[in-house]
Structure formats: C-alpha cells, structure tokens
Structure 1
Amino acid sequence: MNNMLLNIENWILAISPVVILLVGILLLRWKTSRVGSIALLAATLVAYCFFGADARLLAFANCKGLSLSLYVLLIIWGAIFLFNVADKAGAINVIGQTIRGISNDKLIQCLLLAWCFSSLLQGLAGFGVPVAIVAPIMAAIGFEPLTAVAACLIGHSWSISFGSMGSSYNSIQLVTKIPGEIIGPCMALLFAVPIFATGLEVAHIYRGKEGIKKCLLPILSTALSMSILLWLMNFIGTPQLASLMAAAGGCAVMAIWASIYKKTATVASSAKPAKTDMSFCLAATPYFALILISIVTQIPAIRTCFSGYYWGLSYPEMQTSLGYIVEAALGYSKIKFFSHPAPILFLSALIGYFIYSHSTTEENARELLPYAVTKTIQKCIPTSVGISTMVMMALVMSDSGMTNLIAEGVAAAFGNYYPLASPFIGNLGTFITGSNTNSNIMFGALQYEIATLLGKSTVFIAAAQSVGGSLGVAMAPSTIMMGAANVGMTGKENIILSKTIKYCLLNIALVGLAVWIFA
C-alpha cells in the first residue's frame, strides 16, 4: 500500500527524474549515458528523501535494474555482433543485391525494400540497421535520398517490438510481469492495422495517391500474410521469430507480385553492384542457422529439458517507511542458457564466421572476427551505459512507490479516455531514447499501474505501450540521423522528420482507437 498523499507537490517530486531525462535529451541534447546517470541520481535522492526508501531498498532496486539491463543488453550485443560478422564478409551486400534484382518496377522495389526487406533486417539485427542498410541501397538504384530514408523509417516501424530477437517484447513482458503467451498475441493483434497502414504509406511516400491505387491489392495481400504470421509466431510461442518470419512471408508475397509487375526495361542505377562469388544461400547461412536453432529450442520437450539451467538473483520483500510494499522476486529476470536469445545469436554468428572464413580470402578471414568484435564494442558500449542507468532509474522509481504515484495522477487526469493516449506515451519514450526497448523500460510499469487503477485491460494497455513505441521509431531523432548520414543528408534531419511525423502520428492514433475499443 502507498500512503504517500496524492497532491501536486508529491506528484512533481515523483515525476522529476523523468522531467530531467526529457530536458537533458530534448533541450540540452546530452548523451543518453550522461542524462541517464543524472536521472538515476535524482531518482535515488528523491526516493530516499521524500518516499521513505532506505539504503537497503535502493541497493536492491539498483541490483534489479542491472539484472534487467543484462537480460536486454545481451540480446543487443549478440544481434549487433551477428550483423557485423555478416557485414564484414560481404553477406549483407549479397542479400541486398538479390532482393534488389527481383523486380525492375520502381514502386514494387520501394515496397519490397523499404517495407518488407527492411522489416526482415529488423527481425535479424535491428537497432537502426534496416535504415542504415536499405536506404543507401535504394539511393544507389535511383530513389531520391529523402524518399529512401522516409520510406524505410515508416516501412519497418511495425516490426520493431518483435525484432532483434524480441528484445522490446522481452522488456515489456519483464517490467509488467504479463506472461508472454498472453501479451504477445495481443501485441500482434494491435499491429494488424499499422502493418497495412505502413504499406500504404510507403507507396504514398514514393508516388502519392497514384502509388496507393496501383499497389492496393499487393499491399493488402502482403499485409494480410504478415499480420497472420506475426500472430501465429506468438500463438505457437516463438515471439523472437515473429517479425523475422512475418517479414519473410511479406517478402515472398511481394516477390510474387514483383514477377507479375515485372517489365522488360533495365533498371537505372547510379552504382553497379559489387562483384562477388558469394551466393545468396551462403550469405544467409548464419540467419538460416538462427532460425533453425531458435525453432529447435522452442520444441516443448527440449525447452522443458533445459529449463532448469538459468542465471537469476532472488530478492526479499521490502517496504518503505511510508508503507509501500515491494514484493519478493525469485529468479528475477532469468537468463536461460539454452533459450535466451543471446546464446542463440552468438552461436549463429560463430557458425557464420566459420562458413565465411572458408569462402573468402585468407586476409579477409583473418580480419573478420577482430573487425566484428571491435565494431560491436564501439556501437554497444554507449548504448549499454544509457540503457543500464535508465533501467536502474526505472526500478528505483518503481520500488520506492514513485511510479505508482505518477500512475495515480495520470489516471485521475485522463480517466476513461486514457486508452486513447496509451500508445502515444510509448511513442514519447521512443522519441526520447531512440529505442522501443528503452521506452518499455521507462513507461511499461507506469502504463500497467494506470490500467490497473482505471480498471482497464492491463494486457491491452501494456501492449499499446510497446506498439506505440515501435511505431515511434519512425520519428526518433537518433534513427533519423543514422539514415540521413548514410544517404548524404546530414544536417537535413528536420526535413526527414517533417516527412515521417504525419504518418507516424496517424498510425499511433489508429492503435489508440483500437485500444480504446478493446480495453
């Protein structure tokens, strides 16, 4: 029970760490690691001075934060390492060239690359990789740079939550404690409308209303296949493969339409594909391994056999001096050695390394592993510090009762109309941090608390948090900057944002309407 009185002064104190986070990122433009550390310090001081949290409770809260951070960060490191191995070997270029050569109809190319293939990459690696890889490919084969970046940003935004081996899905599941078999299918259901909408929007970005009219049937059939597969992967208990398999199905359906729309004209390209002896099947070997190992580890008999092998700390029940009770946690944020996504990712990367090293030059084979390790460290360390401090801040706020008090205030302000706003809060978190995972960590528990207080469906509200956060990637400054840098639009990020924001907000509003109806 929380005995802290709900009034404006206490509510401002409770939300002050979040305000510091917002001001630091949006106005002062500090790095995530810096602002996260300051916000963590502020949360700790406020919890200790005003919310009755003692040193022992704060220590356990920070330990929980590190445990949860480790669960998520291992996935990020594994996904980025796998991508870097494939990238150095030239496999990513081969995969891109293969898809690029399927059709010479520009609109179909745009849909296939920006909507389907970028989502496939999100399912495999994520964290900005789809925009960084696909947008330059599109620019190289004749698309305007602005069109290429905007189309990729919008096109892959539906695949974020279940992409990167389900890191965002895992984070919302962990912070809300809603079982995956319940929240997963619900999230997939809410994604059905945005999947269709993002296809229409990619066509509109490239050719306006004419593009929508021309490809309405291909978009409808492709969106239907992706929606069904996204839900099916969650229904059978393999959410970490949901975006990957849904996007793969979308690529297959769109490839069929590509053959129907195929012309005899030669595709104009400003850059010739790089010569390579690597086949598509060879290039995609680690990703085939990833899919196969993930499927095998989800077989009930195998999953049950190895379920006892995990790492996880247990925490006792605690209580603040104001009466807020923190429940005991047994095996908090378990890292299962044989089913956690990270071991599967690293094993797939090593399989790829072995295959690539025997199919390339001796010099390139020697450089492959050092390059992948170095690039992974360079990319992941700043992200890791930022995520860790933000997770620790979120756990300090949660275990001291601050999140609960914020929830009471927000619930009192919005009332029964809160479901309409729930995905926009997810979007806000992604806009601030550039990550659906970070957004879920920041606001997932808060949204769960609000739904509980309002008597709304906690499952749908929590799902809306992650769905809104996923779609919000299309207007996240950090992702926009990555895309701009790769197509020569550095310094013109505001133009890209003005292009994507209207589509992004429309998609989130549609999700909010669906949540309001269901919740």
Structure 2
Amino acid sequence: MGWTQIYDPMQNIWLSAIIAVIPIFFFFLGLTVLKMKAYMAAGLTVILSVIVAVAFYKMPVNMVIGAAGYGIIYALWPIAYIIIGALFLYKLSVKSGQFDVIRQSIVSITDDPRLQMLLVAFSFNAFLEGAAGFGAPIAITAALLVGLGFNPLKAAALCLIANTASGAFGAMGIPVIVAGQVSGIEAKEIAKFLGYSLPCISFFVPFLLVMIMDGFKGVREVWKPTFVTAATYAIAQYLTITFIGPELPNIIASIVSLVSLAFYIKVTNKKDAAVEEKLTVRQVLKAWSPFIALTFLVTTWSLNFFKGLFAPGGLFEKTNLMIEIPGLHNQVIKATPLVPEPTPYAAVLKLDVIAATGSAIALSGIIAMLILRMDLKTGKDTLMETIEELSKPIFTIMMVLAFAFVANYSGQSSTLGLALANTAHIFPFLSPVLGWIGVFLTGSVVSNNALFGSLQTTTASQIQVLPLILVAANTAGGVMAKMLSPQSIAVATGAVGLVGKEADLFRFTLKYSIGFLILAGIITFVQALLL
C-alpha cells in the first residue's frame, strides 16, 4: 500500500516550513551554541526528524524506519567504504616511513607552508575531487597537510573551503550530468552557464585560503604565486567547461595549476636546489606510489568505457547487486507540484562490489602494500586502526544520512523547497539556498541536484525565469554547503584526528559558507534580471 507525500501538512506553507526546519535548526544549535559532539547532535536530529515525519507528515512508521535504515546503509556503502580506504592509504604511507620522503619532496619544491597548502589543499584536492569525490579528497589532503606539520583544525578547514572550487563538477562531472537528467536541460549547457561564474569564484579561493592561513600580510607576501595558481586554475576550468564539457574541468584545471605553481616556484626560488638533490627520482616515485596508484585507478574507474562494463548488458553487469529496500521502494509517491504527476520514489541500494570508487581505493591500498613491501599483519593492523579511529565519524555520517533520508522520503526537505519557491521574484536570490539546503542534508551535490533539480525547473517556469539559471544556481549553491555539511565535517575531523571537535570545525567554516552563498545568490539574481 503506497503513501503519497504531503508537502503542506499545516495548510500554510510557511508554518509547514517552520515544522520541517526544526531538525535542521536543532543540529545547527547543537553544534554552535550547545557545542555538542557531532554524533550526539546528529542522533538527536534523527529522532526529531522521525517525530516530525510521523506526527505532522503522517508518514507510516514502517516507511520512516525504512528511510532511516536506507540512509544508514548508504552511509556505510559507498561513503564509509571510500573514507576508510582513503585514510588507510595515507596510514600505509606513514607506517612504511615513506611519508617522510613525501614531505621532503614537497619541501624540495618550497619550504613556504602557504605554497605547500596551495599545492596540496587546493590543486591536489581538486584533482582528487575530479577523480574520486565522496569525501576522499578531504580525507587525503587534510591528512597530508597534518603530516606536513599543519594545525589539524586549520588543515581540515582549509581543505573543506578549497573544495569550493571543484565541488560543482565532482567526480567526472556527475553533479552536472545528474542536474541535466532531472531538469531536461543538456548537461553541457548547464556546465557552460556555470562557466560564466564559477571560474571567478575559483580564482578568489586561493587568495582566501592564504588569507585564512596568514592574514592580509601573507597575501601580500605570496600574491604572485597565489595569482599564478588562481589564474591558471580559473582559465583552465573555464576553457574546459566551455569547449569540452562537465567531465574534465577538475582534472585538467588542477593539473595545470599544480604544474604552473611548481614551475613558478622553481624558476623564482633557487635556494631549495640543495634540498632537492638529496632525493632521487626513484625515491620520490616510490614514496608517492600509493597516490599514483590511487590516481590511476580512480580515474580509470570513472571513465565511460570502464563504467560500461558494469552497465546493463555489460560484461560484468552481474557484479552489481540492486537491493530494493523492503517496505520503502516505490511505496512513497511524490506528488505535484514537486513532480508533474504522481511518481513512485525508488529506494534501491546499489551494491557495486567491483565498480564502486571505494574498490579502486582499496585496490590502491593492496598495490601500495606490495610496492612498499608491507606484510599482511601490518596491513591488517593498520586497517583495524583506521576503522577504530573512524568509528565515531562514521557513526555521525550514519546518523546524518538517516536524518537526510527521512527528511527526503517524508517530504520535509521538499516543504522547505516549496516555501522558498513561493518567494516569487526574489526567488532567484534564494535559489542557491535551496541547493545549499540539499547538500547540507545529503552531503552530496549529486544528491542535491537529484532532489531539487526538477523543482528549480518548475519554479523557473512559474516566475518566468530562464530554467537554466536556477538549475545552475542549485548546483552552485550546493557547492557552498559542502564545507559545512555534517558528512564533510565528520570526514575531515576523522582524517586529522579531531573526533569530538566537529563543532569547532563547523563554526570555523560557517561564516565562509554563508559568505559564498550570499555571493551565489547575488550572481543568480543579476543573471535572472539580465537574461
């Protein structure tokens, strides 16, 4: 027996929105004012969202339990699988002693921490986002910075904020591709439209990172290499978006910026030459081999020809297990105005044993153990240590996803979207807020576009705004929430050993997230007026 979603349980969209926002408001309050541990705040938020779903939205209890369970399972696969693999790879590098060589190889380029940060937190972060996504870039780059001697909280914050430049295109452009699928707009057109504004924001990000790290004094001292990083990334991002499409902007722009910055440093700074001579090419390649293997494998896993092997009719199609969530799959019915006609809401867990990005990372770990000549016992001990360290962050992610899935399947998140859509002609300014809410709830720009992409299109036609503007704004606004989403915060704190300090990191990134969101709103409003 199906159940149709109710989007206005109070018969007044704004009163309904107040009810729907209670769990989110409590989570903010818990992390900022009450300074609760993230896993406690998330757990209580789940309870609140369940109460709201049952008491106000009249969602059947068995479906509420199914939605929460679906979120918990999704947190384990694929998210926890990816995070554990990424941090395990980093720990193998440390345990083998090779991370000292990695540190020395970076120092051989520059001993300036601000430029090291740009190489790792900005450029390498963007590359990993383009290849893997799902939290792996934050986990790996934040851990690398801590290994280089950075303060753990600042390392985590810098990597989260740096991800703003690359988050819109995710792993191989999937966020934009999904936005195109749900809105009916060509993905290349969405990407091209994003290309008018996102490269400008990307150009600004490296300067912001340096300022956060060392104030205006630091920006003045290293503005030239920062400019090189920012300009080469933004230009390469724009050209790739415009002339190639949404799949490769992160990878191409990150490589161009990383190489350009390294070349600029080498040309302008001769004093590090003596340090560089202490390392041989073989030593450097061996030390970086785990991350070289990671880069090659996750890129391969993201290519269309490889994905085709696991698609319907592909050679390895049967290795993907599609598990329907009992009592939930197609039992929740989406209704108007969220969708044009009543539509069953699927709830299928894809257990892609081989095709998952996490499997590419896990294989990288096995290859790293072979290259670094680490025995099975050391590998097993390192894996168990990694799981133990990440147990609380993973529990936090489980609770966050349980809350997100209850909010989505009960219709709470849609209520917030419809309330914002009722703001008529100021909606273009608030359109990115809808994307921001989507990513805050799910931790994923992909999931956000799947959730709100069609609503943005519908609202655009109602208020006579070009749909392309609002669909692009949904993606841009979502990116601004990645640095703040509970899922991202949990990954970052787990990677740098700050479990229990999630509230500190949340408060650190909050002002930057809001600032970027306001900027995205202004850009969208101006575009709506002009186009």
Answer whether TM exceeds 0.5 for this pair. Answer: yes
Q: Following TM superposition, by how much is the alpha carbon of 1:198 offset from its aligned partner in structure 2, in angstroms?
A: 1.5
- Seen in structure 2, the aligned counterparts of structure 1 residues 418 and 68 have a Cα distance that, compared at 3 Å, is farther
| 1:48 counterpart residue number | 54
Contact preservation (8 Å) 2:456, 2:474:
no
What number of residue pairs does the alignment pair up?
A: 490
Inter-partner Cα distance in structure 2 for 1:321 and 1:217: 49
SS at match of 1:311: strand
SS at match of 1:14: helix
| 2:101 counterpart residue number | 94
Contact preservation (8 Å) 2:119, 2:258:
yes
SS at match of 1:235: coil
Inter-partner Cα distance in structure 1 for 2:507 and 2:450: 26
Q: Following TM superposition, by how much is the alpha carbon of 1:401 offset from its aligned partner in structure 2, in angstroms?
A: 2.6
Inter-partner Cα distance in structure 2 for 1:122 and 1:157: 10
SS at match of 2:119: helix
Q: Are residue 75 (structure 1) and residue 82 (structure 2) matched?
A: yes
Q: Are residue 193 (structure 1) and residue 200 (structure 2) matched?
A: yes
- 1:163-174 matches, cutoff 5 A: none
- Seen in structure 2, the aligned counterparts of structure 1 residues 378 and 515 have a Cα distance that, compared at 3 Å, is farther
| 2:256 counterpart residue number | 249
Q: Following TM superposition, by how much is the alpha carbon of 1:193 offset from its aligned partner in structure 2, in angstroms?
A: 2.0
Q: Following TM superposition, by how much is the alpha carbon of 1:294 offset from its aligned partner in structure 2, in angstroms?
A: 3.5
| 1:316 counterpart residue number | 330
CA deviations 1:134-193 (Å, max 9, x no partner) are: 256266xxxx99998876665454345667x68x9679959x967998399479735422
CA deviations 1:313-358 (Å, max 9, x no partner) are: 342243599999973355735343443211111111111112112x
| 1:512 counterpart residue number | 521
Q: Percent of aligned pairs with the same residue?
A: 18
- 1:18-167 matches, cutoff 5 A: 18-69=24-75, 70-103=77-110, 108=115, 111-113=118-120, 115-117=122-124, 119=126, 125-134=136-145, 137=148, 154-155=161-162, 157-159=164-166
Inter-partner Cα distance in structure 2 for 1:136 and 1:233: 38
CA deviations 1:7-43 (Å, max 9, x no partner) are: 5543332222222322222222333333323222222
SS at match of 1:218: helix
Q: Which amino acid aligns with 1:408?
A: L
- Seen in structure 2, the aligned counterparts of structure 1 residues 327 and 57 have a Cα distance that, compared at 3 Å, is farther
Inter-partner Cα distance in structure 2 for 1:442 and 1:32: 22
SS at match of 1:101: helix
Q: Which amino acid aligns with 2:220?
A: E
| 1:361 counterpart residue number | none
Inter-partner Cα distance in structure 2 for 1:517 and 1:478: 35
CA deviations 1:357-396 (Å, max 9, x no partner) are: 2xxxxxx645531343123212332222222222222222
- Seen in structure 2, the aligned counterparts of structure 1 residues 47 and 442 have a Cα distance that, compared at 3 Å, is farther
**Counterpart among 280, 299, 307 of residue 303 in structure 1:** 307
Q: Following TM superposition, by how much is the alpha carbon of 1:100 offset from its aligned partner in structure 2, in angstroms?
A: 1.8
| 1:342 counterpart residue number | 358
SS at match of 1:312: strand
Q: Is there any run of 5+ residues in structure 2 with no aligned partner, and where? A: 462-466
- Seen in structure 2, the aligned counterparts of structure 1 residues 177 and 480 have a Cα distance that, compared at 3 Å, is same
Q: Which amino acid aligns with 2:144?
A: I
Q: Following TM superposition, by how much is the alpha carbon of 1:250 offset from its aligned partner in structure 2, in angstroms?
A: 1.8
Inter-partner Cα distance in structure 1 for 2:277 and 2:157: 23
Q: Which amino acid aligns with 2:93?
A: A
| 1:182 counterpart residue number | 187
- Seen in structure 2, the aligned counterparts of structure 1 residues 34 and 7 have a Cα distance that, compared at 3 Å, is same
- Seen in structure 2, the aligned counterparts of structure 1 residues 118 and 454 have a Cα distance that, compared at 3 Å, is closer
Contact preservation (8 Å) 1:103, 1:258:
yes
**Counterpart among 222, 226, 234 of residue 224 in structure 1:** 234
**Counterpart among 435, 443, 447 of residue 437 in structure 1:** 443
Q: Is there any run of 5+ residues in structure 1 with no aligned partner, and where? A: 358-363
| 1:465 counterpart residue number | 477
SS at match of 1:306: coil
SS at match of 2:348: strand
Cα RMSD (Å) of the superposition? 4.9
Inter-partner Cα distance in structure 2 for 1:350 and 1:388: 27
- Seen in structure 2, the aligned counterparts of structure 1 residues 292 and 480 have a Cα distance that, compared at 3 Å, is closer
